[in-house]
Structure 1
Amino acid sequence: MKNYLSELLTDVAEEQASVQALEKQAKDKQLESLLDKVNLAKQENAAMPLSRHPHDDREPEPIDELQIAPVKTRKSRAAGQTHTKSVNRESFQAMFFEVAGLTVAVPLIELGGIHHIEKTNTLMGKPKWYKGVMVHREQNINVVDTALWVMPEKCNQELLDSIKYQYVIMLNDSDWGLAAEHLVDTVTLQHDDVKWLDNPAKRKWLAGLVKDKMCALLDVDSLIELLENGVNINHD
């Protein structure tokens, strides 16, 4: 599954390079236009000073819920204080979990909680990646089959049968939770530890890629928006 993230990283790099090239072309045209105006002004009145333009198979040790409880999450802060896209301006903690051999990271400030997975009730008319509703302490949790959502094209029946979900990773203060097989670790990341997406329009759910682990860092708020709209990673 690391090859899947490698492909994703290549796609992201190509997209960013294309965007940067277009931006450079636009800036070059603006500069040429500005120089033309300056030269014209010089020709019309050489004596007048120019003024500047004003806009010039491994079983990782499970993380007990009690270990995570003291860490500040979105629920423990004032609503709206922090957004995933602003996380890249400072160091932050992230929790890593695994699904079908794929490692995924979520900022702790965007973590709504972790529950052991329980029985889910399927609903008619929902997408394939919608695992069902899990009732936990009178809360109805919409559980996402994370493997089917993130990499639907990789999920053949053999892979799906091999996945053993154990946890539900809650997203912010929403009713959405991602099914996870293993909880790996919590790590403090610095800005440069992540390859941030400058233009995430195509992959709104992806804030960036953690370089040394080659894993996806989720943009939780955007992910929730996609889930609410009933679409997967491919917007299907």
Structure 2
Amino acid sequence: MSGNPFANEDVMEDYMSALLTDETIVDDVKRQSVEQLFKTEPVPRTEPFIQPAAEPVETTPVIAKVLEPQVEKRLVAVNTPSKVVKPIIPEGEFQVLLFEVAGMTLAVPLTELGGIHQIESVNPLFGKPAWFKGVLLHRDEKYNVVDTAKWIMPEKSSDKLAGTTEYKYLIVLGESGWGLGCEKLVATETLTPDEVKWRNVEGSRSWLSGMIKKKMCALMNVKQLINMLKQGLSSND
């Protein structure tokens, strides 16, 4: 945990503000450049036009065929998310595990919990995202360790906590081989569906099933979280 509680309060403000805002982030630069491309008109010809002897070349259709598919593909690659794995909303009471990372409390359903292991040493790997902490060897198993603070928080918030998070436990996500770094195990809690503010996971932050009202903490959509980690995506992708 950080030795500066005031710094953590600032980080938590950023974190809660981000989670409670459902606005989609738009890359204005890319959007404007695409709009400009479609608005651009061809420059009028000044030299005399000479009809070639061979078959005329249809230049305008060729330009359309080359440019438009390229622009469309680039937009799809940036803005189209993969298929979202929706959480199943329980019909009755269900239990969750509450744990802390960098001063924030997170929750995972116990039915999606693959185990909890102590973190003694993690073997780093090169060429991985900044939030990939490394590999934990536990008996005959290998687990991919996620730097939870870096994965969930905006970059400006995680930078404030760089070097201050001390992960003691690994929260294993189902049978995926992925686990979240955890600083403190809080407790297990029994909830009813009405105690969660469920959200539309097809929007932004599809890893977030909802907010537990009385705890003001995030309930994680574990299956979608695993889906994103396997693709190398961060929380805002």
Contact 2:95 2:188 in 1 (8 A): yes
Runs of 4+ with >6 A deviation: none
* Greater per-residue helix proportion: 1
Q: Percent sequence identity over matched residues?
A: 47
Amino acid at match of 1:11: T
Contact 1:5 1:214 in 2 (8 A): no
Q: Please show how residues 108-127 of structure 1 align to structure 2 within 5 Å.
A: 108-127=110-129
CA-to-aligned-CA distance 1:126-181 (integer Å, 9 cap, x gap): 0010000111011110000000000142012x512221110000000110000000
Corresponding residue of 2:76: none
Partner of residue 202 from structure 2, selected from 200, 210, 224: 200
CA-to-aligned-CA distance 1:77-114 (integer Å, 9 cap, x gap): xxxxxx97223332100010000001000000000000
TM-score (normalizing by structure 2): 0.66
Q: CA deviation at 1:194?
A: 0.4
Q: Please show how residues 175-190 of structure 1 align to structure 2 within 5 Å.
A: 175-190=177-192
Corresponding residue of 1:8: 18
Answering whether residue 165 of structure 2 is matched by residue 155 of structure 1, we say no
TM-score (normalizing by structure 1): 0.66
Change (3 A) 1:221 1:111: same
Partner of residue 229 from structure 1, selected from 224, 228, 231: 231
CA-to-aligned-CA distance 1:65-87 (integer Å, 9 cap, x gap): xxxxxxxxxxxxxxxxxx97223
2:133 is paired with a residue whose SS is: strand
> Aligned partners of 2:176, 2:121: CA distance in 1, in Å?
19
Corresponding residue of 1:167: 169
Contact 2:201 2:208 in 1 (8 A): no
Change (3 A) 1:4 1:174: same
> Aligned partners of 1:231, 1:7: CA distance in 2, in Å?
21
Contact 1:2 1:214 in 2 (8 A): no
Change (3 A) 1:199 1:173: closer
> Aligned partners of 1:152, 1:201: CA distance in 2, in Å?
17
2:163 is paired with a residue whose SS is: helix
2:235 is paired with a residue whose SS is: coil
> Aligned partners of 1:6, 1:123: CA distance in 2, in Å?
31
Q: CA deviation at 1:7?
A: 1.2
Change (3 A) 1:123 1:210: same
**Unaligned regions of 5+ residues in structure 2, if any?**
1-10, 25-84
**RMSD of aligned C-alpha atoms?**
1.8
**Unaligned regions of 5+ residues in structure 1, if any?**
16-82
Answering whether residue 224 of structure 2 is matched by residue 219 of structure 1, we say no
